[in-house]
Amino acid sequence: MEQPSSHLKIRRANGVSVVEFADRKILEELSIQEIGEELSHLVESEAGIKLLLNFKNVDHLSSAALGMLITLNRKIKEHNGELKLSDINRQIFEVFKITRLNRVFDIHGTSEQALDGFQS
Amino acid sequence: MSAPEHFGVDEASLAELVVPSDLRSAKASEDRILAELARHKYEGDTIFAIKLALEEALTNAIKHGNRNDPSKHIVIRFHIGDERTAIMVRDEGNGFRPTALPDPTANANLERPNGRGIMLMQAYMTKIRFNEAGNEVWMLKENRTRPPAKSKSRSLRR
């Protein structure tokens, strides 16, 4: 089941909320706050949420987007949930490496690998 | 106001934009610069790097420099050539001391949501220089350079 929303495509798979970004440009500054709010509501809607962010549609990133992801990760931990990221392209992954945030986030090559990594 | 001498940019070759201090106006300027990079056939990684650094500079100018005051302006000067791109972004704020910023890659700061913009500009551009006040930044990207190094210890002052 897919729920329409302005910036995110959300589906369920094996008890995991799988989120894709609806637009390649969504991580630009103008939209980041709205995306952060949408994801925050999603986390609040389910205790212990298992959330997978699929980056396959993302081809750009900013420090503001990284900040939003850090805040989201913290919130998910506070709600005893789990966050994983997948399908990050080479250029975007380089940003995670340069900022050392590849050590903060649980990053997987594909969504299938990430889904396998969630605790059942 | 002029490019640092070692950027190798002729003053007469600089274009200038003065735009209202809001994200949509900044985006329009960014799009113009990106179109120019494409016209000069810059490769994808180089365009990615310049786009990222330019957005960080513009965001800093609007949010931190001009403090989201839409009555203020941003000045952008740029030179785009086959060998190099130089871009200046200046705001009307009081500036800051870039050397006083904490290292966002230090373990203690890794989970802080802010403080990565300047570091990314340094990592992705060949050189960046702030003026003394800290409200004007010049960024240089040499074309066809290798991917950015993980960490750089460069002077931020000219």
Contact B111/A at CB under 8 A: yes
Evaluate whether B85 touches B124 at the Cβ level (below 8 Å): no
pLDDT value of residue A5: 53
| DSSP structure string for B83-110 | SEEEEEEE-SS----GGGS--TTSGGGT
pLDDT confidence bin for B13, thresholds 50/70/90: very high
pLDDT value of residue B151: 54
What is the rounded average pLDDT for all residues in chain A?
A: 90
pLDDT value of residue B98: 87
Residue-number span of the structural domain to which B50 is assigned: 13-142
- B73-93 residue pLDDT tens: 999 999 999 999 999 999 999
For chain B, where are the alpha helices, taking DSSP H only?
Answer: 23-39, 44-60, 117-124
Contact B108/A at CB under 8 A: no
What is the rounded average pLDDT for all residues in chain B?
A: 91
Domain count, chain B: 1
Sheet with B136-142, strands from edge to edge, namely B15-20, B73-80, B84-90, B136-142, B127-130
List phi, psi (to 5°) of A28.
Answer: -75, 155
Contact B123/A at CB under 8 A: yes
- In a domain, residue B30? The reply is yes
pLDDT value of residue B155: 53
- In a domain, residue B8? The reply is no
pLDDT value of residue B89: 98
Chain A residue with Cα closest to B106? A100
What's the CA gap between B128 and A56, in Å, rounded?
31
Evaluate whether B76 touches B87 at the Cβ level (below 8 Å): yes
pLDDT value of residue A31: 82
pLDDT value of residue B156: 59
pLDDT value of residue A43: 97
Q: What is the mean pLDDT of residues A93-103?
A: 97
Q: What is the mean pLDDT of residues B104-115?
A: 96
Name which of A100-109, B35-44, B122-131, B140-149 the model is least confident about.
Answer: B140-149
CATH number at residue B54: 3.30.565.10
- Higher pLDDT pick, A86 / B147: A86
- In a domain, residue B83? The reply is yes
- In a domain, residue B75? The reply is yes
- B141-157 residue pLDDT tens: 999 754 455 555 555 55
**Mind telling me the catalytic residues of B?**
56, 60, 112
pLDDT value of residue B157: 56
User: What value of ipTM does the predicted structure carry?
Assistant: 0.89
Q: What is the mean pLDDT of residues B9-30?
A: 94
- In a domain, residue B100? The reply is yes
- In a domain, residue B7? The reply is no
> Does position A1 have pLDDT exceeding 50, yes or no?
no
Q: What is the pTM of this model?
A: 0.90
- In a domain, residue B148? The reply is no
Name which of A19-33, A97-111, B45-59, B116-130 the model is least confident about.
Answer: A19-33
Q: Is A105 helix (H, G, I), strand (E, B) or coil?
A: coil
Number of CB pairs < 8 Å for A and B? Answer: 61
pLDDT confidence bin for A4, thresholds 50/70/90: very low
Contact B153/A at CB under 8 A: no
> Does position B72 have pLDDT exceeding 50, yes or no?
yes
A1 Cα to chain B: minimum distance (Å):
32
For residue A106, the chain B residues in CB contact (below 8 A) are none
- In a domain, residue B157? The reply is no
Domains of chain A with bracketed CATH: 8-117 (3.30.750.24)
